[in-house]
Amino acid sequence: MRTLIVIPARYMSTRFEGKPLALIRDKYGIEKTLIERTWDSAKKVEKIEKVIIATDDERIEKECKRFGADVVMTSKSCKNGTERVGEAIKSLKENYDVVVNFQGDSPLIHSDYVYSVINSMNDKTVRIATPVLEVNKTLFRQIKKERSGGIVGSTSVVFKKNYDALYFSKSFIPLKTVDTNFKPKSYYFHIGLYAYRPNELEKYTNFGEGRLESIEGLEQLRFLENDLTIKCVPVRRKKQGFWEVNNFSDVEIVEKILASSSL
């Protein structure tokens, strides 16, 4: 399957303005912007026809060109990364079987996670796929601590027995047992990565913003609100660890992971 990776990046994040240009230091003391580290991770994925960055901000465009990335400028009217990815592919002459949305705040995404969602698309009935990670006891406690401190970052997901998504939320779901002792296979953490058939992106834009999408601030809910199925693909935790940069406080967490990994 001909596969394209698109990294959407915006400057005006409500929780962390200028996030793509935030500097992140690795264990060697080398500082790179978040968008460059994400680009580096995406470029490690093999057998991909092309990787591009989609942005509407000249500051991000300038930074991306500095480190040699292919950049597509999109309009400022895009409400989220999925819309930005959809707009970006319209400007390309090439056609692709699968489009991967490799979110710009996810520099720690392992290549295996990308392969997992791409491989799931070998099933022609799968139109949209995203990886999910089982929450272990350590992560369970960390997320609960953040929630009690009013920090909202990671996204939880619940799905059917066949792994079709039921719902995604910034709340820690399922809520009924959230305050009891930890139970394995009870909670799953959504990883900010999607694989789509190109025509699903066109449908997405035509639907317009959904009610639940607006309330939660989660773009993938637009698919569910319009009866499109998202296949959840369970992936295994990697030794390096995983974390997304949603808030300024996440920079320190990612730096700690980089300090103890081979990335």
- What tens digit of pLDDT does each residue of 29-67 get? 999 999 999 999 999 999 999 999 999 999 999 999 999
CA distance 239 to 242: 9
Contacts of 197 (CB under 8 A, 6+ apart): 97, 98, 99, 121, 127, 128
CA distance 182 to 134: 12
pLDDT at 73: 97
pLDDT at 143: 72
* Angle in degrees, 0-180, between the axes of helices 198-207 and 81-90, rounded to the nearest 10: 120
Q: Which amino acid, residue 203?
A: K
pLDDT at 48: 97
Q: Long-range CB contacts (< 8 A, 24+ apart) of 87-90? A: 87/54, 87/205, 88/6, 88/8, 88/52, 88/54, 89/4, 89/6, 89/198, 89/201
pLDDT at 181: 66
Q: Enter the pTM of the model.
A: 0.90
- Return the structure tokens found at 261: 């990994």
pLDDT at 237: 82
**106 and 92 in contact (C-beta within 8 Å)?**
no
- Return the structure tokens found at 51: 């990787």
Q: Name which CATH class applies to 3-259.
A: alpha beta
Domain ranges in the chain are: 3-259
pLDDT at 3: 98
CA distance 187 to 133: 9
Q: Which amino acid, residue 62?
A: K
Give pLDDT < 70 ranges for the chain: 147, 149-153, 176-184, 262-263
